[in-house]
Amino acid sequence: MAVPSTTQTAPGTAEGPVIEVRNLGIEFQQNRKRRLSVREMLFTGRSSSPAGTFWALKDVSFDVSAGEGVGLIGANGCGKSTLLRLVAGVMLPDTGTVTVRQGVAPLIELTGGFLGDLTARDNIYLTAGLHGLSREQVEERFDEIVDFAEVRDRLDTPFRHYSSGMQVRLGFAVVTTLDEPVILVDEVLAVGDRAFREKCYTRMEELIGAGRTLLFVSHSEKDLKRFCTRGIYLRKGEVVADGGIEESFKAYVKDSDKASGK
């Protein structure tokens, strides 16, 4: 069995699929809390599995090629968001491997990394810097970020005083100005008011049009078909369909109707 791992390599250093997932599995306690965080692993090491665990993902394998738009489909709790976090490298698998051969822009927890006591201005520089942008690069994109987020009149306000909607707008604006070739999206297009959602849709279409690779989680059939040509349907942590977006979504709807007695 392969050693469980999540690996990211620099762009252009390897050939093959942009994302390669092999026999991936991850186990949770029944309360859905990860049994060990990465920090805890560093200091205490792994422990044996406690009683009352379940596999959130089990034996998942697939490849994603450069420029593909792939939708992750399934009911709540089927492992879609967990899979995105494994690809992003913020969680570690218990079995199998994930290899990502290009840089990743994660639209997962958009305000992750933002510090409440810092101003929006300082958070822009901090978060973009953590994603690898130099100060000069941030300055070049600063106005674009601020104007997209519509926060120019609140730039020197502590981030914790922003509304949740304003925080998400700023997070989305920062992450979507990154140059990373792979975009991971988890339901973020469902947040904000209607006008902001339209801005998000337009920005996403621009990124995809530029040849970015997309791994996209959504319950919206309209959004999935708008951004994806391929669908991976997960049920209880396992892949049950992987094909065209319409076919995979139909398989999901058929199972949902059967479960509800339709």
**For 132-187, what is each residue's pLDDT tens digit?**
899 999 999 999 999 999 999 999 999 999 988 888 889 889 989 999 999 999 87
- For residue 2, the Cα-to-chain-centroid distance in whole angstroms is 24
3-state secondary structure of 5: strand
d(CA 6, CA 1): 15
CATH architecture of structural domain 5-103+219-259:
3-Layer(aba) Sandwich (3.40)
* Range list of β-strands (E), 80-130: 95-100, 104-107
Q: Could you give the CA distance from residue 89 to residue 59 in angstroms, rounded to a whole number?
A: 18
User: What are the residue ranges spanned by the domains of the chain?
Assistant: 5-103+219-259
HSE of 29, CA atoms in CB hemisphere, 13 A? 11
The C-alpha atoms of residue 244 and residue 216 are separated, in whole angstroms, by: 14
pLDDT digits (tens, 9 = 90+) for 191-208: 667 888 888 889 999 999
